[in-house]
Structure 1
Amino acid sequence: MTAEQKLHNPTAGIVFVLIGILAISINDMLIKFLSGGYPLHQMVFTRSLIGIGFSFALVQMEGGWRILKTDQPGLHLLRGLLIVIANLTFFTALAVMPLAEATAVFFVAPLMITLLSIPLLGEKVGPMRIGAVLVGFLGVVIMTRPWEAGGEREVGLLMYALPVLAAFTYALNNVLTRFLGAKSKASAMAVYIQACFIVVSLLFWSVAGDGRFANEFENESLIFLLRAWVWPEGSDRWLFIGLGFNSAIIGYCLGQAYRMADAATVAPFEYVGLPMAIFWGWVIWGELPNLPVAIGIALILGSGLFVFLRERQKKRHVITEKRVHRRY
């Protein structure tokens, strides 16, 4: 059995992505919960500083410091910057959007991964799955309701562009993860990403850490991004530690998932995050999706499940054909 065959383990990839998505849902809930009192770049710095410590421990378990060496530093840097953009744009949207709604718009990412896996990874995606992807994008249009005037909207149309941008950069990141994962361990890739978060958040702190720009804006998202750093007090300290622990879990588990399975196989399982986001929004903020959002969620979820089921059916067909061929 070759190293590539050992790496390919769809069942393990699915388990890892489910654990990662659970950690992401808790992470998103905590960041939205803390967004009224702390700046985004402070939370990103703190969680990444804690998370990189956990990631270093995983590096030791997977082979030691030597696995941090890479002959593709440029692609790893690009991957890190993509996930930084994805996180910053999504978290900025959370300051003004309901958690379930922002998460649902973001969940065009698995659909984008399915499309991007065609030119970037050479994976075959048939017309039925392409049609399912288009249905998912229709769900996004229904949710964002671009035909409504500004006065009729609770959230400005421009705010919906943030989770869409987050979805696109996240999709590119995961496609790169699949490509780079053939040579790099998941713990090493998690360290690279945590390092990118730390550097970017420190740059934000050096420019806006004193809050000098926050008073110039009325938009809650920009204030969240540019607010002055505040030392966490009381139970908030434990929430920041929780963010760091979650960050390590997310980086490792998603890295493993996209190393061990095809992007088109793993991506649909990320939709588990949708009901989780609805749950947190209802329990903590008393938010429930309205009718257009519910219809959009149903279309996105349905298209994702169809893509997954179609993928499973296609793989079974290919395996059967190979077995028949070997008999002759």
Structure 2
Amino acid sequence: MRSVKPLQGAALLALSALLFSLMGVGIREVSSSVNNESVVFFRNLVGVLFFSPLILFQGLLPLKTARIGSHLWRTAFGLAAMYCFFYAIAHLPLADAMLFTYSAPVFTPLIAWWWLKEPLNKRMLITTAIGLIGVLLVAKPSAALLDSQALVGMAASILAAFAFVSIREMSDTEPAFRMVFYFSLFSTLVSAIPLTWAWQPMTRHDLELLLIIGLLATASQIIMSKAYSLAPPGLIGPIAYLAIVFAGAIAWFRWGETPNLSSLIGAALIFSASLLAIARPAR
């Protein structure tokens, strides 16, 4: 039986959250001179390059799959979510953009019920409703229908939730590293297409920032996977919300951004919904 190490898992998850928030800071910085299409492409390209040593030493056998269709669906949802998320980071307060990303689990039960026919009980409906209210508060409901930036942030949440459900759909046969590889590979190929009309010259500083963003994102994913191998998500999952705290603190120091009351209440509701979702009674 695998031993549970909650302290080590929580520490790694906190480190993953810090790296993810630093990635957001890097995206905000580079977006002042580099367009969204280029940021998405280079972030995915670095992910593919990360797998090069695996392919060189072990060949293509570990990457063999019979679920190419599922990987393509996961790429479609995940890549669309990435475009929306990076756009939100560039145009919204950083903490708000991070909140939209971490509110994806709010929508996951509904999508899993519709797509995978998973049961949907009263508890799930209540937590989804609480989380959705939180998302609307972050999106500023008085202007959400008119504010394209807030709508893009909400779209990032919903598309990420679809990506999570697509991962669940194929997790019975596909290990995590294979899903990450195909997502990085297909996302790189697809995100290269817009560069045929959106390519722009970049400085060495821009390229260095893009490389750092890709490395931070990849390292964050790997460390997060290791954290969840040491302790179950239900035990340490809320630690991931430190990314919002880290991002808010850095944005306050770097750009003087401070969350308003609506965002703070929305964050509390989203966080509460996540706690209710994972705090299921023991069977």
129, 132, 139: which one aligns with 2:134: 139
Query: How does 1:53-132 map onto structure 2 within 5 Å?
Result: 53-58=49-54, 64-120=59-115, 126-132=121-127
Q: Distance in 2 between matches of 1:231 and 1:241?
A: 13
Query: What RMSD, in angstroms, separates the aligned Cα atoms of the two structures?
Result: 3.4
Amino acid across the alignment from 1:287: E
Q: Distance in 1 between matches of 2:248 and 2:42?
A: 26
Name the % identity. Answer: 26
Per the TM alignment, residue 130 of structure 1 is displaced from its structure 2 partner at its CA by 2.5
Alignment deviations for residues 19-69 of structure 1 (CA, whole Å, 9 cap, x no partner): 5544332222111111111112222222322221213335678x6521211
> TM-score scaled to structure 2, two decimals?
0.83
Secondary structure of 1:289 counterpart: coil
Which residue of structure 2 aligns with residue 202 of structure 1? 192
Q: Distance in 2 between matches of 1:27 and 1:251?
A: 12
Which residue of structure 2 aligns with residue 189 of structure 1? 179
Change (3 A) 1:100 1:167: same
239, 244, 247: which one aligns with 1:274: 244
The one of the two structures with greater contact order (alpha-carbon pairs below 8 A, sep at least 6) is 2
Which residue of structure 1 aligns with residue 32 of structure 2? 36
Amino acid across the alignment from 1:191: F
Secondary structure of 1:95 counterpart: helix
Q: Distance in 2 between matches of 1:15 and 1:100?
A: 21
> TM-score scaled to structure 1, two decimals?
0.73
Structure 1: any 5+ residue segments left out of the alignment? 151-155, 210-228, 319-328
Q: Distance in 2 between matches of 1:202 and 1:297?
A: 35
Structure 2: any 5+ residue segments left out of the alignment? none
Change (3 A) 1:19 1:130: farther
146, 151, 157: which one aligns with 2:147: 157
- 8 A contact 1:31–1:43 mirrored in 2: yes
Per the TM alignment, residue 118 of structure 1 is displaced from its structure 2 partner at its CA by 4.0
- 8 A contact 1:186–1:252 mirrored in 2: no
Change (3 A) 1:149 1:126: closer
Alignment deviations for residues 195-241 of structure 1 (CA, whole Å, 9 cap, x no partner): 122112210111222xxxxxxxxxxxxxxxxxxx222324x443222
Q: Distance in 1 between matches of 2:19 and 2:191?
A: 21
Q: Once structures 1 and 2 are overlaid, which stretch shifts more, 136-145 or 250-259?
A: 250-259
